[in-house]
Amino acid sequence: MTPDPALIRTVEVRVTATRVGMGRIVPYDHHQGLQRQSLGPGLPPRLVVYAVPLYQVLVVGAGRYKAVRFALRNNGSSPEVRGCDTGLAHLRTCEPTWIPSYRPHSFFTPRLGAWRLIPHQGFLIHEGADSNLGRVGGSLGCVEIVDGGWVPFLEDIERLGGGTCAEISAARKLVVKIEPAIYPTAMRE
C-alpha cells in the first residue's frame, strides 16, 4: 500500500566540507571509461589510481557517512599530483529526484538507485567503492557514499521520510544541502 504523500516527512541530507579521511578513485570519462596505463607490450594495462579526500555526509537526525565529493576526468594524463577537476564546489540546496535503475559503472551494488541532484545534469548521490573489500571505482564528480555506507544511507532516508526513496522523491521531500568547498588535490598511488 502506497502511503499518502501528505504523510511523507521531509528529510535533510548535508554534504559537508569536513574531510574525514582519504579514498581511492580512478579518473573516468563517459567516452574513454576508466583511465588505464600501459605497462608494456604483452602486459595488461593497469588502472591509474589517485588518493582523494573523503567528506562527511550527514542524514540529519540519523547517520554520518563518508563520501567522495571531488574527482578527476580521464583526460589521459597521470601526473603524481593533480588538482581535482570535477564535483560540486559551490553552496547549493537541491531537491533531488530518485533514479531507481541506476547502477555504478565500476562495480556491483547490492541496491540499485541514485539521487539526481540537479535536473538534466549528471551529478548524483550514489554508491561508491568499498575500500574494505579492496574496491576502487571510476569517479566523475558525483557524491559517492563509500565503504559499505550506501544501503544504511538509503535506509536512514526511508525511515526518517516514512516511505521508499521513490515515494520520498515523488513527494519532493528530500532536501540536500551542499556546503561550499575548494577543489582538493589528488595524489597518484
Q: Where are the chain's structural domains?
A: 9-188
In angstroms, how far is the first alpha carbon of the chain from the final one?
Answer: 50
- What's the half-sphere exposure (Cβ side, CA atoms, 13 Å) at 24? 16
Provide the residue-wise pLDDT of the chain in tens; the chain has 189 residues: 566 777 999 999 999 999 999 999 999 998 988 899 988 888 898 999 999 999 999 999 999 999 999 999 999 999 999 999 999 999 999 999 999 999 887 777 889 999 999 998 889 999 999 988 888 988 888 999 999 999 999 999 999 999 999 999 999 999 999 999 999 999 999
Residue 167, φ and ψ in degrees, nearest 5: -70, -40
Give Cβ neighbours of residue 62 (< 8 Å, ≥ 6 apart): 156, 159, 160
- Which CA distances in Å does 107 have to 112, 116, 152, 179? 12, 19, 18, 28
